[in-house]
């Protein structure tokens, strides 16, 4: 599978390119998009240069609707703020997020589960391997109308699990504290419910969520089969 790594030549594409393009397609023109660092940032920039030229990108550092001419290294990079409409701070953008103004959020994560819960804090729970922690991942998943998770999958089966070992960000079914009962997100968020995970886009395919809030394989990228997708998933992808 070495040919699936590295940079593509003109006229060719690699799974990572497909991943970015598939992710970019989730954006509708004019939408307000909240993007995280890395591949999400690339995807929204692809979208703005293709079918969604008036999509507005908000970064959690406080930069709003930048028109970068160079690829930023992180959400606080000055490259994000080039020709931005507003450059303020966290109180501004998280307030807008919470007030329901964000149509779509693009995020990454270390682990995702059947319900779209995301883990980027501990692999294996609080006694396991420590990662960065939430940053805005949790806030954005909690409060955006739709969220799209971009995840590498090929050869990384442990990233697609039945239950994440630590819930950093909420999917469609979550525990209600303190009683720990697992209930639909709507029940926990009540009037503050804006939506939830719309898709998980991997280097192998695009996954969506059914009416029960459970993940299914929607489309398979060229070069992969549904069986390969199933093999690279730790839970039983039985809905396709």
Count, residues in the chain: 240
* 185 is a site residue for another protein (CB under 8 A): yes
Other CB atoms within 10 Å distance of the CB of residue 92:
14
Please name which of 204, 104, 187, 213 lies closest in space to residue 151, comparing C-alpha atoms: 204
Token readout for 182 is 């697992």
For position 153 contacting another protein by CB under 8 A, the verdict is no
**Which H or E element spans position 196?**
strand 196-202
* Residues 193 to 212 in contact with another protein, rule: CB under 8 A: none
Q: Which residue, 159 or 221, has its beta carbon nearer to another protein?
A: 159
Nearest residue to 39 (alpha-carbon basis) of 199, 148, 115, 183: 148
Q: What backbone torsions phi and psi does residue 194 show, to the nearest 5 degrees?
A: -105, -20
- The answer to the question of residue 132 lying near another protein (CB under 8 A) is yes
Assess whether 60 carries a catalytic annotation: yes
131 sits near another protein (criterion: CB under 8 A): yes
What does the block give as tokens for 169?
A: 């960000």
How near is the Cβ of 81 to another protein at its closest, in Å?
Answer: 6
The catalytic residue among 26, 31, 60, 214 is 60
Q: Binding to another protein (CB under 8 A): which residues in 39-78?
A: 54, 56, 60-67, 70-78
Q: Using CB under 8 A, which residues numbered 79 to 118 contact another protein?
A: 79, 81-92, 94-96, 98-101, 103
Active site residues: 60
């Amino acid at each position: 599978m070495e040919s699936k790594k590295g940079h593509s030549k003109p006229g060719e594409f690699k799974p990572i390119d497909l991943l970015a393009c598939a992710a970019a397609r989730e954006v509708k023109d004019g939408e307000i998009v909240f993007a995280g660092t890395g591949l999400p940032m690339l995807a929204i920039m692809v979208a703005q240069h293709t079918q969604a030229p008036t999509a507005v990108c908000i970064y959690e550092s406080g930069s709003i609707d930048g028109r970068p001419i160079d690829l930023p290294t992180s959400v606080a990079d000055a490259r994000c703020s080039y020709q931005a409409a507003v450059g303020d701070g966290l109180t501004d953008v998280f307030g807008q997020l919470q007030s329901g103004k964000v149509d779509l959020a693009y995020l990454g994560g270390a682990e995702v589960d059947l319900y779209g819960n995301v883990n980027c804090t501990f692999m294996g729970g609080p006694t396991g391997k420590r990662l960065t922690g939430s940053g805005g991942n949790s806030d954005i998943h909690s409060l955006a109308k739709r969220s799209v998770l971009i995840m590498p999958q090929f050869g990384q089966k442990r990233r697609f699990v039945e239950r994440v070992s630590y819930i950093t960000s909420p999917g469609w079914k979550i525990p209600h504290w303190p009683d720990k009962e697992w209930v639909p997100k709507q029940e926990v968020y009540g009037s503050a419910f804006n939506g939830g995970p719309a898709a998980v886009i991997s280097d192998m395919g695009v996954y969506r969520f059914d009416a029960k809030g459970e993940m299914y394989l929607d489309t398979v990228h060229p070069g992969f089969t549904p069986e390969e997708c199933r093999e690279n998933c730790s839970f039983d992808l039985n809905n396709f």
